[in-house]
A and B are shown apart, each in its own frame.
Chain A
Amino acid sequence: MSGDDMNPAAVAQPVKDLQGDDRWMSQHTRFVQECKDAEPDVLFIGDSMIQLMQHYDVWREVFSPLHALNFGIGGDTTCNVLWRLQNGELQNIRPKVVVLWVGTNNHHHTAEEVAGGILSIAQLLTSRLPKAKIVVLGLLPRGERPNPLRQKNAAVNDFLRSWLPRLGQALLLDLSAEFVHSDGTIGPQVMFDFLHLTAAGYRTMAKPLSDLLLHILEETPEEKRASAV
């Protein structure tokens, strides 16, 4: 099982400012600052799939009410998320659930390495937040028609399916099937560029995800005790 130093996808790395406006570091700094003020029950972290969610109505309607924070950054790989979590984005917060969605941008790593990187993040989260549940979202298919990246993302999900249960606190939510037509194509109604979700695409995945989150949040022992009074 990957997840050690030999796996390049499990090596924490910040994003270098190649463009010249330092936006990645600005976003990370803002997230660290948010950790000081906020008391989220649910932390969303990952790449653009997480980041874009907050710009649609579905965030305000479904996830904000759960007291959620969104620490998504477009383009992030498992290495970048690992670095952010090790460098302040978990300070001072005690979410009950962490929703993790990352891996589709790990272009230089194999499926097994990517799954190992995601596992490393889940392990880090479990060690820092022993009482939290970790919901790992499966990587969605991408591209208009079947292509090597779809196979790779599906393989990542397969590895996670067998590895994550061993962590106890972590589970996989794989919604891939919702996005591919019977002829194997992905339509622009759900993914406007065959990768990123439209408002309708997010609504499709929001229902099963929010059902799961509500289920987990309802199970919190503290709440059970409080409601039993």
Chain B
Amino acid sequence: MSAEDPNPAATPTPCEDTQGDGRWISLHNRFVSDSKDKEPDVLFVGDSLIQLMHQFGIWRQLFSPLHALNFGVGGDATQHVLWRLSNGELDNISPKVVVLWVGTNNHGQTAEQICEGIMAIIQVIKNKLPNARTLVLGILPRGKSPNALRERNAKVNKLVQEAVLSLPHASFLNVDPDHCYS
């Protein structure tokens, strides 16, 4: 592979409707529409881990009061989030903080590629929302026992954590329950 090959994790890509019910684009369209109507102070964006947050009581207790919007889509990888944010979901809103949680679905890609994807998202947010801070959540471990995906996710976190150190508009937060309580 040459250094010139584009990184799929950092190339804005919509999700193909392979199943036939258009749900991904329906969700994207709803988020674009929400961007026109709502005025969030905090925007949550990412994959199912963000999306599912919205379904539990904790959202109403902790995040609704912050005037938060939830743009999570289950199954999304970095390239999908990149596409969504580049195609309307950041238009017309000016949140103070964007919480970004994505990367665990980037299958077949290296930790370096995934990190680059996350950094590309941070850049798009910076371009569209010059006054917003991006808070990147560390990707959680997965699987019952140690496995290659855990190693990959941990490596992504390490790379991202280092990369945002030099960025005044972004920071990293490790939300692994084991880490928090140690």
Is there an interface contact between B149 and A194, defined as CB atoms closer than 8 Å?
no
Judged by a CB distance under 8 angstroms, whether B107 is at the interface is yes
Please count how many residues in chain A sit with their CB below 8 Å of the partner chain's CB atoms.
26
Q: Is B21 a contact of A193 with CB atoms below 8 Å?
A: no
B142 at the interface (CB under 8 A from A): yes
A26 partner residues in chain B, CB cutoff 8 A = 143-145
Interface-lining segment among A1-9, A15-23, A127-135, A164-172: A15-23
CB-CB under 8 A from B56, the residues of chain A are 55
A144 lies within 8 A of B23 (CB)? yes
* A residues near B148, Cβ cutoff 8 Å: 20-21
Contact between chains at A147 and B21 (CB < 8 Å) = yes
Please give me the residue from chain A that is nearest to B18 by CB atom: A107
| Residues A118-147 near B (CB distance < 8 A) | 142-145, 147
Q: Are B23 and A194 in contact (CB under 8 A)?
A: yes
**Binary interface encoding of chain B residues 1-31 relative to chain A, with 1 for a CB under 8 A from any of its CBs, else 0:** 0000000000000000011111100110010
Q: A143-B26, A192-B54, A194-B27 are in contact. Are A19 and B19 (CB under 8 A)?
A: no
Contacts of A23 in B (CB 8 A): 142-144
Contact (Cβ within 8 A) A144 B149: no
- Check B150 for interface membership: any CB of A closer than 8 A: yes
Q: Does A188 contact B (CB under 8 A)?
A: yes
Is B51 at the interface (CB under 8 A from chain A)?
yes
Q: Does A51 contact B (CB under 8 A)?
A: no
A104 and chain B: residue at smallest CB distance: B19
Whether the Cβ atoms of B54 and A142 lie closer than 8 Å is no
Q: Given A19-B149, A193-B51, do A142 and B21 touch, yes or no (CB 8 Å)?
A: yes
Determine whether the beta carbon of A193 is less than 8 Å from that of B19: no
Measured CB to CB, the closest approach of chain A to B158, in angstroms, equals 19
Chain B interface mostly helix, strand, loop or mixed?
loop
- The answer to whether the Cβ of B114 comes within 8 Å of any Cβ in the partner chain is no
Q: In the complex, what residue of chain A is closest to B30 when comparing beta carbons?
A: A188
Q: How far is the CB of B151 from chain A (nearest CB, A)?
A: 10
| CB of B74 within 8 Å of the partner chain | yes
Nearest Cβ distance between residue A152 and chain B, in whole angstroms? 8
Given A144-B26, A194-B27, decide whether A149 and B19 contact each other with a Cβ distance below 8 A.
yes
Name which residue of chain B comes closest to A27, CB basis: B144
Most B Cβ at <10 Å: residue of A20, A23, A194, A195: A20
Look across to chain B and name the residue whose beta carbon is closest to the beta carbon of A107.
B19
Contacts of A147 in B (CB 8 A): 20-22
In chain A, what residue has the closest Cβ to B146? A21
Asked if B143 contacts A21 (CB within 8 A), the reply is yes
The reply on B166 being an interface residue by CB < 8 A is no
The distance in angstroms between the C-alpha atoms of A143 and B17, with both chains bound, is: 11
Cα A179 to Cα B55 in complex, Å, equals: 17
Which residues of the other chain, A, contact B27 by a CB distance below 8 angstroms?
A: 193-194
Interface string of A42-83 (1 = CB under 8 A from B): 000000000000011000000000000000000000000000
Contacts of A142 in B (CB 8 A): 21, 23
Residue of A nearest to B148 (CB): A20
Task: Give A141 to B107 CA distance when docked, in angstroms.
Answer: 29
In the assembled complex, B122 has its CB within 8 A of some CB on chain A: no
CB contacts (< 8 Å) of B51 on chain A: these are: 192-193
CB <8 Å contact, A143 and B21: yes
A150 at the interface (CB under 8 A from B): yes
Any chain A CB within 8 A of the CB of B73? yes
Instruction: List 21 A–B pairs whose Cβ atoms lie within 8 Å, in order of A's numbering.
Output: A19-B107, A20-B149, A21-B143, A21-B144, A21-B149, A22-B143, A23-B143, A26-B143, A55-B56, A56-B55, A143-B22, A144-B21, A144-B22, A145-B22, A147-B22, A149-B20, A192-B54, A193-B51, A194-B27, A195-B21, A195-B23
Contact surface of A with B, Cβ cutoff 8 Å: 18-23, 26, 55-56, 107, 142-145, 147-150, 188, 192-196, 198-199
